[in-house]
Structure formats: structure tokens, C-alpha cells
Amino acid sequence: MKPTDQTLNEQLRITEREIESRKKLLGIDPGGEALLREVKPLVVADLDGIVESFYETLVELDGVAQLIGDAESLFRLKIICGVFADPVRWCL
């Protein structure tokens, strides 16, 4: 079976039990889940801007810019963050 024949959850072997455990860890209760579903359209509409704003804020923290190192590394981090944030577009 090819990876493209499976969902990401199937590839990573993330079960419903694991999802519930992660929600508990993050403190997401049914009310929080409903709220996330409600704001999802707003987040999806500005997901790229949210990623950009996140990194603009992050590099202002002491030592973070030095840790990232250079503009190319920052660019790659933004791309990776966008890739990982992209499931927000289709989940919930």
C-alpha cells in the first residue's frame, strides 16, 4: 500500500483514542472544540498571515533570531509551519 492510499492519521497510526488524549492534554473540552469549529473559517481565511505574524513575533524574542540563523532558514521554517498548519483547512 502506498502512503497516498492512506490518510495522514492512518500513516502516523493516530487513533481516535490518541486524538482524545491530545485534546485532553491541550485542555480542549467539547465547548472548546465547538468554539474551534466556529472560528475555523476565520483562521483558514488568514492562515498564511497567521504564520507570518507568528514568525514576526517569534524572531523578536531574545535569542530566537540567532537560533534560526539566516533569512533562508526563516523562509524554510515558514514553509514548514504552513505545511503543518494546512490541515487546519480541512480538519474539525
Per-residue pLDDT tens for 37-69? 899 888 888 888 888 898 899 889 889 989 999
4: pLDDT confidence band, cut at 50, 70 and 90?
A: confident
Q: Which residue has the cell 475555523?
A: 40
Show me where the domains of the chain are located.
1-43, 46-92
- Cell triple for 38: 466556529
The chain-wide mean pLDDT, for the chain, equals: 84
3 versus 45: the higher-pLDDT residue is 45
Q: Lowest mean pLDDT: which of 7-16, 49-58, 70-79?
A: 7-16
The model scores a pTM over 0.85: no
| 51: number of Cβ within 10 Å | 20
Cα distances (angstroms) measured from residue 39 to each of 21, 30, 42, 43 = 22, 14, 5, 6
- Cell triple for 52: 507570518
- Cell triple for 58: 517569534
